[in-house]
Structure 1
Amino acid sequence: MIKSLKKTSMLLLVLISTASLLQAQALKKVTLEDVFKKGTFSQKSVYGINWMKDGQFYSSLVNRAGSPMVVKINLATGEEEAVLLDGRALGVKFTSYSFNTDESKALIASDVESIYRRSSKGIFYVVDMPTGEKQQLADGEKISYATLSPDNNKVAFVKDNDLFMVDLSSNEMTQITQDGKWNKIINGAADWVYEEEFSMAQAFKWSPDGKKIAFIRFDETNVPEFNMQLWGPLYPADYRFKYPKAGEKNAEVSIHVYDLTSGNIQKMDAGSETDIYLPRIYWTQDPNQLAFIRLNRLQNQLDLFHANANTGESKLIISEKSETYVDLNYNDNLQYLSDGKSFIRTSEQDGFKHIYHHAMDGSLIKQVTSGDWEVTELVGVDEKGKKIYFVSTEVSPLERNFYVVDLNGKNKKSLTPLSGTHRINMSPDHRFFIDYFSTTEIPQKVVLCEANGTPVKTLEENEALEQTLKGFALGKKEFFTFPTVDGTSLNGYMIKPADFDPNKKYPVLMYVYGGPGSQNVLNSWGGTRDFWHQALVAEGYIVACVDNRGTGARGRDFKHSTYANLGKLETIDQIEGAKYFAKQSFVDPGRIGIWGWSYGGYMSSLSLMIGNDVFKTAIAVAPVTTWRYYDTIYTERYLQTPQLNPAGYDDNSPITHVNKLKGNFLLIHGTGDDNVHFQNTVDLVDALITADKQFETFYYPNRNHGIYGGNTTWHLYSQMTDFLKRKL
């Protein structure tokens, strides 16, 4: 009887396996054309959300018949109530908008052009909402960061490195600063390295009463210039910009406050040391009190100051120190409460990023959250209800869920019970939130919810995409953990072909980024790159990913473990990942490859060279090849300066390990990369030639770090696909 049951079970398994195989064969394979030409897997979203003042509506930017419109949506019903701004009626093809406090005016921007990652300039208009009349700013010249004053009467902006202000009633323009000059002085806008590494572009803020403007001044006179050639004309043009490489001089920064009434500019006291960073300014509830953050050059001490905006006198409120570094991006949630008596901030000082409540003198009132998990975002503080809303990793480092907790740290409750990744946009009155939710198998769903988590209306379901997906043979992203030789547990995923046969031997392509605080192994919907992986899976590859030590969402110690020695532990972990895959019965251990972009290109290069016994092939796109060529803020945060820690810069540079190259190597870079300079690839190529190593390389003329534009993306991924088919 037992033998009979076993035979029946085996037969059922064979039938199920055969049926699954036939079903997979009947479905379409993902092709490069689907991903890059047809946009078959593009998902929809809801853009340009602005919550409106009365708490009953929000506005959203939509495109109808090729024209931008801002529509008003009823929160109770989710239905459109009115068109607030019509691009056709205004005669302006605007791409962004904002309202002033009482919604009597709107600020719109058109003809916007990017400068670097976060900076841009465009033509701005102020629209009078009752009359529909528009007022062009700066005579139609392109300006940056136009911002309405809280009293609705003025607009401040940056033009030609100087700070300006326009009085809307008279259209009179005031030039606040006079010394702005390209590659010398910047007023009210960030320099290249602050923009890239401190995630800021605008560097000015109106006071709460609209009577003052605080701004940061950058003196980059002594910062070395980087020269990037732009190819195309008969004689290639030189593009020179200030880029402080590790160990070199930074811009000298200072904070100033302009008083509209007197016309005076007062400098804030940030101490006598000039080799510092001043990456954040905030107004407290007092219109005469400015707050700012100061970091030392090594970024292992973060100081919060309160300053008298009239006299410049400052007082140290909080000082946080670390043996490694204090990550500003993990401490950038400062919010002053309206009672003027306290503020909320986040810090990873106890080993995990959590929420803290302080009195105005800096003394701790309460650590609001705690535990072996991280608050990834402080969403809002409801002062009337004495509640704090935040997103965290409490369920799993692979997920993001939305929570509410009382200000005293009690009654914590999850507002998003579905497993996956939730990105939240909450109304200022904390009555509603919009949940952008996805998993590895569910495309983004955008849902309007009440503050308690009750859904009101689904704003975007991506039903068309879900139907499209049913017609394709897709591999499932399977999560796993495995221990390394030293006992560290690492998270990973793998995607097997839809018609996976456990008796076959498959080649494996690992995908890596691996930089400090990053995360690739996450239960969320992927983008274009994920579907390129699906196209490879359809060709019979297994695609896999491992988040090495140094990555995020697992606490300070895990993230900071790579400090002063970037590349060492990360490479060990990627090699350990490859060895783990090589032991699987369905993997061909002789055909394991790895690819990555930027930090990932650095990692894939090192992995192939140092792990030449496990990796056969690697692709490095826009890689850092020596940290001596990268910028001060990012590099010195993790490695100190080259003068203090030369071994940290050189021991794990791919250039140092070129003699170990044995496998197939493809090196790709854009010559117009203002971030990770083409110089990185040039020097690695030179070292490989000297070491008599054969490899393949390709450059994209004038393309930046993202390597895109026109036919570029198609060409890039087609080239990488062809290389993998030939070499893996």
Structure 2
Amino acid sequence: MLFRKQAVALMTCLMLYGSALQAQDGKMELSVEKIMRDPKWMGTSPSNIFWSEDGKKVYFSWNPDGNKSDSLYSVSADGKNIRKVSPQERRNLPSPYGEYNRAETKKVYEKNGDIFLYNIKSGKPQQITNTVERESSPSFSHNEQKVVYIKDNNLFAWHAANGQTVQLTDFRKGRKAAGEGKDAQRDWLKEQQLSLLQIVREREEEKEAQQKKQKRDAPNRPKEIYIDDKAVNSINLSPDERFITYQLVNRPKNAKTAIVPNYVTSSGYTEDINTRTKVGDAQATYEFFVYDTQRDTAFAVSMKDVAGIAEQPAYLLEKETNTSAAKDTTDTKAKKTEVRPTVIYGPYWSDNGKQAVVVARSQDNKDRWILKLDPATGKLTVLDRQRDEAWINGPGIGYGPGEIGWMPDNERVWFQSEESGYSHLYTVDVSSGKKKELTSGKFEVSDLRISDDKKNWYFTANKAHPGEKHFYRMPLQGGEMVQLISMPGAQEVTLSPDEKNLAIRSSTSNRPWELYVMENKKSAKPKQVTESLTEEFKSYDWREPEVITFKAEDGADVYARLYRPENPEKNGPAVVFVHGAGYLQNAHKWWSSYFREYMFHNFLADQGYTVLDIDYRGSAGYGRDVRTGIYRFMGGKDLSDHIDGAKHLVEKYNVDPNRIGIYGGSYGGFITLMAMFTEPDVFAAGAALRSVTDWAHYNHGYTSNILNTPYTDSTAYAKSSPIYYAEGLKGALLICHGMVDTNVHFQDVVRLTQRLIELGKDNWELAVYPVEDHGFVEPSSWTDEYKRIYKLFEENLKKEEGDKI
């Protein structure tokens, strides 16, 4: 044992001075210190790609000189004349975001809180507003004679012909004065005053006459709409300018916000950070309104007659069935007819301005409806209902522009759905309700757009392999999907304004993102524009991890990245990495957002470890069944996939079953804790980083999707939370957490720490990082954390004799 401790001490010493080491052949020798430096040591990939409005240049952020921050660069469409953009040119550029008119000759956008109108042919901007207040969300009116925008939570229109600005809405906080609303008590008091006192009657009559005169003199003033203390969102003007739709948000007054103390501050005092509520706390409610300017009235759009609105989630019906003997049956029936709270998004108008659809989501996360809206009556007609007893999600299945739209015939709406088990493209006829699937297969599509000539679709899909993303073109009515780019890995494509050229960000699993340009033709050859990697980074032969599959215990195929030592030891050690976020993909063939972990896995392989990085149940990229495989039991199939992965390492890759470790951050930290507590004989050591320890203390938006809420589904939370299983710990456990983590609060590990103390466990340690949030920033913190992880594995997974130093 003494030899083992001396070996570990020597290894730590080598790690501390490893940044000075180079192999004799000139190849860089990895160390934790090298990997965890400021990422600029690797080189900085181009990002934020956008085209000039005339399509002659591509702009992008880049930092080839390793400066403190990125600069703006440009390159011509043919890949020549790359240069840094001058500050003056940068300031004069229109925002890359905004809205075009139909002919795409003009663009309206927000910049620095003001609204601009850009003439694409002349290249000259016209500033529409210049105020201290922020104006936002600009768009063209349907006749393109006005620019409509939001200011102070109200809708305004600027008339291009005369430069006049008109206020279209008048939303006011508070309530109407007594007698003007529907308050029975106040109305009664007013009537009493009017009947008893002549002077009151006379003044009230004079006031009413004055108001009528003002209305006659200024007939175009918008109606005063009082919204109490609610917030107003999503204000939209109809194409005929008769209707204004809006959303009112009622935020609960009794919601309790969690506090994160910040100990290391410039003031020298501990300062509190307000963060979020916890899952199941009181949530905001939403109402959708139509203001009919012709009738001068506003009314709420109701979901009460929409098919399925009262259908309760299956888990609640199961609960009712299990306890029906103790309940009154009439009460159960009443509950089943309750209208579930929903959020309505939109509307989205056809290009001819004649028809509108909205999208609604139930706040219990089980339903999404696409509905035709009659704005004059508020009537909703169901065009499509997607029901998922787990929760609605998936690529492209959203609620905003770019996730639903109209076909050129103005009769059909396009959208994405997981109806087939994978997220695919559909259309539905708004008159007949006929639905058509345009893409199909065991793959997913995303980032849809219709070509300017209205003949084709462009989109991204992982058709070739779940771990590859390619850019496709397909006829508008469906048909052959043509892959336009042949490069391996993944491509992020930005079309030029005339759609003749592509700006492409491309990467592979061992090469970070670079910028390419290419003609929009299948046979065209991409031209590389940037070379971002430093000589130091290129001096190491970075592994291209093999993407493998293995069978889970229930027969499902599980994808994973595999890193192997050059000369694997028989019965050698292994480490299983667990990616975070849950719904995220990491066993793919492009550059990982977990680039530090990728480099650490190369380092571990150099030290003799086999590393497995699993896309477990709940991960993205594999369709609905994988996405929802963790419903009501996090730490179920997602954990068993890692157990099966460990078995696969033993059976196929000569790994010692007693020398397997596990680590990960966030969701990965949660799985690590569940593994160490509930499968203690599988993993000898684990490092849990920024871990959720009790899902009842996480946020509502994420957690209620998967586990419902603690007071309606307490069993799901108990099954899924590591803190309930801490007594099962056997192996060596390292816990690391940032103290100003505003996502997974430091309180999570404090509570778990107390639990471990009370259980008398002594085979664990806690490392805290006083200045770090959920995502670490400081290289010193990254270095300290990963030195501890490496030390944990060296001390617990390497043999006591024959250690290689």
Instruction: Tell me which interval the TM-score lies in, with the shorter structure as reference length.
Output: 0.7 to 0.9
Distance 1:621 1:137 in 2: 48
Task: Report if aligned partners of 1:443, 1:466 keep a CA contact under 8 Å in 2.
Answer: no
Aligned ranges 1:390-539 → 2 under 5 Å? 390-427=459-496, 430-455=499-524, 458=527, 460-462=529-531, 464-465=532-533, 468-497=536-565, 500-503=566-569, 506-513=572-579, 517-526=583-592, 527-539=595-607
Distance 1:579 1:391 in 2: 35
- From 407, 421, 426, give the equivalent of 1:337: 407
Aligned-partner SS, 2:172? coil
Q: Which residue of 1 aligns with 2:437?
A: 367
Task: Report if aligned partners of 1:515, 1:550 keep a CA contact under 8 Å in 2.
Answer: no
Task: Report if aligned partners of 2:421, 2:624 keep a CA contact under 8 Å in 1.
Answer: yes
Change (3 A) 1:709 1:268: farther
Q: Which residue of 1 aligns with 2:427?
A: 357
Q: Which residue of 1 aligns with 2:330?
A: none
Task: Report if aligned partners of 1:674, 1:705 keep a CA contact under 8 Å in 2.
Answer: yes
Distance 1:36 1:710 in 2: 5
Return the TM-score normalized by structure 2. Answer: 0.72
Q: Deviations over 1:113-132 (max 9, x none)?
A: xxxxxxxxxx5574867697
Task: Report if aligned partners of 1:622, 1:668 keep a CA contact under 8 Å in 2.
Answer: yes
Q: Which residue of 2 aligns with 1:179?
A: 173
- From 137, 156, 168, give the equivalent of 2:149: 156
Q: Which residue of 1 aligns with 2:351?
A: 285
Q: Which residue of 2 aligns with 1:221?
A: 252
Q: Which residue of 2 aligns with 1:558?
A: 626
> Which amino acid in the other structure matches residue 149 of structure 2?
A
Change (3 A) 1:390 1:219: same
Aligned-partner SS, 1:36? coil
Distance 1:465 1:156 in 2: 43
Change (3 A) 1:220 1:624: same
Q: 1:574: how far off?
A: 0.7
Change (3 A) 1:589 1:601: same
Q: Which residue of 1 aligns with 2:707?
A: 639
Change (3 A) 1:599 1:242: closer
Q: 1:724: how far off?
A: 4.4
Change (3 A) 1:702 1:211: farther
Aligned-partner SS, 1:490? strand
1:697 aligns with 2:690: no
Q: Which residue of 1 aligns with 2:688?
A: 620
- From 764, 775, 778, give the equivalent of 1:706: 775
Q: Which residue of 2 aligns with 1:30?
A: 30
Change (3 A) 1:283 1:692: farther
Change (3 A) 1:501 1:95: farther
Q: 1:717: how far off?
A: 4.2
Distance 1:714 1:93 in 2: 40
Q: Deviations over 1:163-199 (max 9, x none)?
A: 5658594689888533399x964333xxxxxxxxxxx
Q: 1:251: how far off?
A: 0.5
Aligned-partner SS, 2:675? helix
- From 721, 728, 734, give the equivalent of 1:660: 728
Task: Report if aligned partners of 2:507, 2:590 keep a CA contact under 8 Å in 1.
Answer: yes
Task: Report if aligned partners of 1:59, 1:70 keep a CA contact under 8 Å in 2.
Answer: no
Task: Report if aligned partners of 2:72, 2:90 keep a CA contact under 8 Å in 1.
Answer: no
Distance 2:426 2:247 in 1: 27
Identity %: 21
Q: 1:343: how far off?
A: 1.6
Q: Deviations over 1:571-608 (max 9, x none)?
A: 11112212322345653443322122221111111112
> Which amino acid in the other structure matches residue 576 of structure 1?
D
Which of the pair is proportionally richer in strand?
1
> Which amino acid in the other structure matches residue 389 of structure 1?
Y
Q: Deviations over 1:98-123 (max 9, x none)?
A: 5754666674656xxxxxxxxxxxx5
Change (3 A) 1:108 1:246: closer
1:320 aligns with 2:386: yes
> Which amino acid in the other structure matches residue 645 of structure 1?
D
Change (3 A) 1:329 1:439: closer
Distance 1:390 1:211 in 2: 35
Q: Deviations over 1:669-722 (max 9, x none)?
A: 334333333332232222222212232223334643323368554554455445
Q: Deviations over 1:384-443 (max 9, x none)?
A: 453222222221111112222223332332223333222232346544433322221343
Q: Which runs of 5+ in 2 are unaligned?
A: 1-21, 175-225, 306-338, 798-805
> Which amino acid in the other structure matches residue 41 of structure 1?
M
Distance 1:621 1:538 in 2: 23
Task: Report if aligned partners of 1:307, 1:313 keep a CA contact under 8 Å in 2.
Answer: yes
Q: Which runs of 5+ in 1 are unaligned?
A: 1-21, 111-122, 189-202
Q: Which residue of 1 aligns with 2:612?
A: 544
Q: 1:328: how far off?
A: 6.0
- Segment of structure 1 superposing worse, 481-490 or 131-140: 131-140
> Which amino acid in the other structure matches residue 636 of structure 1?
S
Q: 1:347: how far off?
A: 0.9
Change (3 A) 1:178 1:45: same
Distance 1:208 1:81 in 2: 43
Task: Report if aligned partners of 1:108, 1:127 keep a CA contact under 8 Å in 2.
Answer: no
1:302 aligns with 2:368: yes
Aligned ranges 1:38-57 → 2 under 5 Å? 39-50=40-51, 52=53, 56-57=55-56
Q: 1:726: how far off?
A: 4.9
> Which amino acid in the other structure matches residue 45 of structure 1?
P
> Which amino acid in the other structure matches residue 463 of structure 2?
E
Q: 1:356: how far off?
A: 1.2
Aligned-partner SS, 2:382? strand
Task: Report if aligned partners of 2:580, 2:664 keep a CA contact under 8 Å in 1.
Answer: no
Distance 1:454 1:258 in 2: 53
Change (3 A) 1:378 1:207: farther
Change (3 A) 1:88 1:585: closer
Q: 1:299: how far off?
A: 2.2
- Segment of structure 1 superposing worse, 389-398 or 502-511: 502-511
Distance 2:628 2:238 in 1: 37
Aligned-partner SS, 2:643? helix
Distance 2:244 2:778 in 1: 38
Q: 1:335: how far off?
A: 1.7
Distance 1:428 1:271 in 2: 44
Q: Deviations over 1:442-494 (max 9, x none)?
A: 432433333333436535343x5285544114333122222234433321112
Q: 1:655: how far off?
A: 0.7
Aligned-partner SS, 2:617? coil
- Segment of structure 1 superposing worse, 124-133 or 227-236: 124-133
Aligned-partner SS, 1:647? helix
Q: Which residue of 2 aligns with 1:568?
A: 636
Distance 2:736 2:75 in 1: 46
Q: Which residue of 1 aligns with 2:285?
A: 252
Aligned-partner SS, 2:343? strand
Change (3 A) 1:172 1:603: same
Distance 2:394 2:624 in 1: 13
Change (3 A) 1:351 1:186: same
